[in-house]
């Protein structure tokens, strides 16, 4: 039987040592029993594989009618989103036959050479832009990047694709960050996998010594965390 996308992606996260278990203080201040470290995708093979997973998820959503098939550019917000945008655009072209650009923003506006705030495919009116990012906890990055895009041109943001949906409610509501962003901006948000899928898959993926990556203890800690913060 063919393994599901979320199962294969979980195995990749574990192999790349991007999924860690323990106690981690998040940017939100919450203490989480798991952490997804985007910095672990630190060589050509890993970032190419990650881009292929993003491209596969995008292709699935295009096939389902949830994303348009004429996306103009993949936008990855600086800095972590830059390799995501580039590797996703490469994989969409090479694996799925899509002619698509990539764009990312500068942290500071360049006042010499070609100038401007954007690198890669330049944004123009009516362009269809798909955002990619790693993990959303509060949606802060999206709220920062949308005004930058709109300041460049009257683009249409058609969606956002994440690696992992932590499925956590925001600090001031019972709504998840993903649902809050969808409601605020009017475009869909997709994730290659969500935390529940990851922990389910992790119980069936074994380490080199034959034990499950996600033990009963780890699963119990994750369940307790999601009971408190999950949306």
What Rg do the C-alpha atoms of the chain give, in angstroms?
A: 18
Active-site position among 31, 110, 171, 204: 110
Residue 205, class by beta-carbon neighbours within 10 Å (0-12 exposed, 13-18 middle, 19+ buried)?
A: middle
Give the residue among 112, 132, 116 at the shortest CA–CA distance from 124: 116
Annotated catalytic residue 204: no
DSSP SS3 for 221: helix
Helical spans, DSSP H, in the chain: 5-15, 44-63, 81-96, 140-152, 177-185, 195-202, 216-229
Active-site position among 27, 57, 80, 112: 112
Q: Judge whether 104 and 118 are in contact, CB under 8 Å.
A: yes
Instruction: Name the DSSP class of 208.
Output: T
- Which positions are catalytic? 110, 112
């Amino acid at each position: 039987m063919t393994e599901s996308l979320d199962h294969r992606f979980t195995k990749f996260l574990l192999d790349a040592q991007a999924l860690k278990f323990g106690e981690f203080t998040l940017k939100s201040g919450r203490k989480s029993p798991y952490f997804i470290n985007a910095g672990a995708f630190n060589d050509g093979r890993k970032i190419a594989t990650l881009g292929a997973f993003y491209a596969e998820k995008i292709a699935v959503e295009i096939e389902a009618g949830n994303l348009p098939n004429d996306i103009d550019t993949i936008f990855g917000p600086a800095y972590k989103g830059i390799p995501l945008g580039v590797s996703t655009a490469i994989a969409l072209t090479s694996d799925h036959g899509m002619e698509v650009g990539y764009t990312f923003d500068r942290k500071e506006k360049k006042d010499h050479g070609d100038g401007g705030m954007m690198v890669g495919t330049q944004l123009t009116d009516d362009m269809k832009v798909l955002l990619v990012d790693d993990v959303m906890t509060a949606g802060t990055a999206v709220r920062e990047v949308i005004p930058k895009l709109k300041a460049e041109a009257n683009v249409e943001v058609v969606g956002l694709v994440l690696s992992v949906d932590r499925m956590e409610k925001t600090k001031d509501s019972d709504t998840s960050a993903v649902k809050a962003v969808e409601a605020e901006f009017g475009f869909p948000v997709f994730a290659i996998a969500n935390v529940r899928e990851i922990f389910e898959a992790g119980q069936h993926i074994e380490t080199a010594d034959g034990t499950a990556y996600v033990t009963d203890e780890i699963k119990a800690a994750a369940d307790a965390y999601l009971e408190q913060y999950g949306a």
